[in-house]
Structure 1
């Protein structure tokens, strides 16, 4: 079976999903690539045919596909289009996110022929409390490229679209999760919630003199929660806690110092590995 082009589709506020998706597409060897970046705005209505390969990558927030990502994906449709689904999570757990993305894809006319779960630096990660810091690393990206090569082989060896078989993403191998760190995390989360410790709703700037009002945080905010010229304020109703504003700030003026990051850093030090399904 011949694939005319690859459609690279991603929602990636802190660029982790973008890196993984790009590496997969490079691995396929397809040179005709159309990119749809849903991070800052929805795409125009688009229908992909069965001669295209869609590679769709999104981040996981709290064990689910980022809701804003799902909302922006709704402008896309497939027509029995082969699709590769990828979720990128911060080393804790992706829970049912891959199944959520699969449900969306099937409902929108895509045939899911491969799936992957990759690790990216957690949105809350900081220098003091690192959570999968630096992921995806080069090893992750090499694995993503190899995944792309395997996808290309699967497509090329299929006689036609009918014989390019779909996969059940529920059968993907789960990463190994040691029991005691998970138990400790759950116990501490329950204790934290019972304590009534306030959880910040948005990132903020502790020292306002550090903000130079360059507007980069507003430019990188996918939900429009920060307005250029009013960078000291964040609309809590719009903020999705992706921390793109924190990671893009050249002055390191903005922080998201949540007590959850301490638990994540302490309980999930052991690094998980990507898993794929073909």
Structure 2
């Protein structure tokens, strides 16, 4: 198959999923006899409703972040507005170095329901939403090594497409990267204790705003994917809308926003070992 268009489809509040997906897409298109104009992007990050259909002559590269071992619910909902017509799809789950669990299989199943043929799947690591300089979790990823792997993955997909009608992948064969026993047990112990405390004294963790630093530039409101922050009222975050993606924290130009959750330190302690991308064709 020689694709007419390579279309990147992403939900990517902090840009990590988008960076990986675009690298894969460029690699697929590079030797496919297509011009740069054939590379397109459907960015669902700030689109509450975005109806789009892709033909069988296109290839979709669909990427979304992992929340708690599942596809981010907001991403899943927005991806349901997309339609394929037997369109080959590459699906990529992007997680914060803990575990992707069921997310890749969920993303493959979602793509299939929407009329796509998932011909390749992958799980890549991106900087965790909760990562800070004090509690780093996969800080700076995807880095150059990750993007090189993404380009190699795209080239392998390109070869599979060129070989003929590509067969769908079995997402169940995409295995999570092993975590050493001691860090895993330490994290499980934290989660059990956290849930017990929450049951007794529930606490809602939200991004906070330092009013003395905030310049009311409105950037946090502009980059929030769920309109949880209103322009002119940047110090307030709507708890019913916030998905804790931390786009506002990472995108604030003056460092006025922060997010403090006990999960950050637990993740930083338990998942320091670098996990590599996993792929299946």
State if a TM-score over 0.5 links the two structures.
yes
Counterpart of 2:270 in structure 1 is 267
Counterpart of 2:192 in structure 1 is 190
Counterpart of 1:165 in structure 2 is 167
Q: Is the 8 A contact 1:199 1:258 kept in 2?
A: no
Deviations 1:154-196 (A, max 9, x none): 10111xxxx3111111101321211111111001121233234
Query: What's the offset of the Cα at 1:64?
Result: 1.1
Counterpart of 1:53 in structure 2 is 59
Cα distance in 1 for residues equivalent to 2:100 and 2:162: 30
Counterpart of 2:122 in structure 1 is 116
Counterpart of 2:72 in structure 1 is 66
Counterpart of 2:2 in structure 1 is 2
- The SS at the match of 2:152 is helix
Structure 2 residue 206 is the aligned partner of structure 1 residue 202? yes
**1:134 to 1:199, Cα distance in 2 relative to 1, 3 A:** farther
Cα distance in 1 for residues equivalent to 2:72 and 2:176: 20
State the Cα RMSD in Å. Answer: 1.2
Query: Residue 239 of structure 1 is aligned with which of 238, 242, 259?
Result: 242
Deviations 1:25-64 (A, max 9, x none): 1111153111100000145322211111000000011111
Counterpart of 1:12 in structure 2 is 12
216-225 or 163-172, which deviates more: 163-172
Equivalent pairs, count: 273
Q: Is the 8 A contact 2:101 2:176 kept in 1?
A: no
**4+ runs of 1 displaced by more than 6 Å?**
none
Query: What's the offset of the Cα at 1:140?
Result: 0.1
Q: Is the 8 A contact 2:60 2:89 kept in 1?
A: yes
Counterpart of 2:154 in structure 1 is 148
Q: Is the 8 A contact 2:124 2:278 kept in 1?
A: yes
89-98 or 23-32, which deviates more: 23-32
In structure 2, runs of 5+ residues without a counterpart are none
Cα distance in 2 for residues equivalent to 1:137 and 1:198: 37
Counterpart of 2:254 in structure 1 is 251
Alignment of 1:31-50 (within 5 A): 31=36, 32-42=38-48, 44-50=50-56
Cα distance in 1 for residues equivalent to 2:62 and 2:233: 34
In structure 1, runs of 5+ residues without a counterpart are none
Structure 2 residue 84 is the aligned partner of structure 1 residue 84? no
- The SS at the match of 1:210 is coil
Q: Is the 8 A contact 2:11 2:43 kept in 1?
A: yes
Cα distance in 2 for residues equivalent to 1:195 and 1:228: 35
